[in-house]
Structure 1
Amino acid sequence: MATQMTTIRFPSDVYQRLKKYAEDKHLSVNQVVVESVSQMLSESSVSKTTIESRLILNEVIPPKKIFAESGLVLVNGIYYRFLTNDNQPIIPDTSYVVVEAVGNILTIQSIRK
């Protein structure tokens, strides 16, 4: 995928909050911004979201909260069934991010380092 570079100006306090959020989620600031903008621009996220899906989209799931044997993940204290976005098995010791939520089934994507 081709990328385009741009400059974005953030108020200092907003940038500091963004940076802390990215660090807490073990993501780069760039990843957080790209995922957030992609989600905002996605037609499905605008027209078909529920409050619950908005609360869990882009949540990072650490490996210890992914139970591949049972097909469950623990997100915000709730167990959900999951699918991987590429239909591949879970990669051990890898964090995943929630990219879609439909009912009680989440689609998760591995976070590549």
Structure 2
Amino acid sequence: MKVTIKLDSMLTDQVKTSATNENSSVEDYITNVLSNHVKTGNFEQRQFVGKQIDSNKIDIKSHLVMMDGIYYRFDLINEKAPTADTKYTVVGNNGNVLYLKK
């Protein structure tokens, strides 16, 4: 669904700054903010979907990724192994498995 909203210039600047601080696009940032305020889905969906993590948080040997101090199993979307010095976005989950995309 596409939605058009009008923001005043001050709020627009605040949203752009917040998105930049989270290494996110404005669209992804707004989607993440809305997702966090609409309490649906499970804990992982509410807390992690849309967040970015550095590849150094991914342990390929144990096949675990650390998110906010908790280890989760993971699956990479369109990749066999994580790339060093790369940010990944959590795009979904199934139970305690997080789906990561470059």
TM-score (norm 1): 0.67
Q: 1:14 to 1:67 in 2, by over 3 A?
A: farther
Counterpart residue identity of residue 79, structure 1? Y
1:29 and 2:21 correspond: no
Identity of aligned residues (%): 32
Q: Check conservation: 2:55, 2:82, Cα contact below 8 A.
A: no
Q: 1:10 to 1:74 in 2, by over 3 A?
A: same
- The aligned counterpart of 2:76 is 84
TM-score (norm 2): 0.73
Q: Check conservation: 1:100, 1:107, Cα contact below 8 A.
A: yes
**Aligned residues: CA RMSD:** 2.8
Number of residues of Structure 1 aligned to a counterpart in Structure 2: 96
Instruction: Show structure 1 runs of 4+ deviating over 4 A.
Output: none
Query: What is the CA deviation profile of residues 4-63 of structure 1, one whole-angstrom value per residue up to 9, with x for unaligned ones?
Result: xxx753234543442233222212324535xx28x97xxxxx9x8213321111110112
Supply the distance in 2 between the matched residues of 1:95 and 1:66 (Cα, whole angstroms): 10
Ranges in structure 1 where 5+ consecutive residues have no aligned partner: 1-6, 41-45
SS in 2 for 1:81: strand
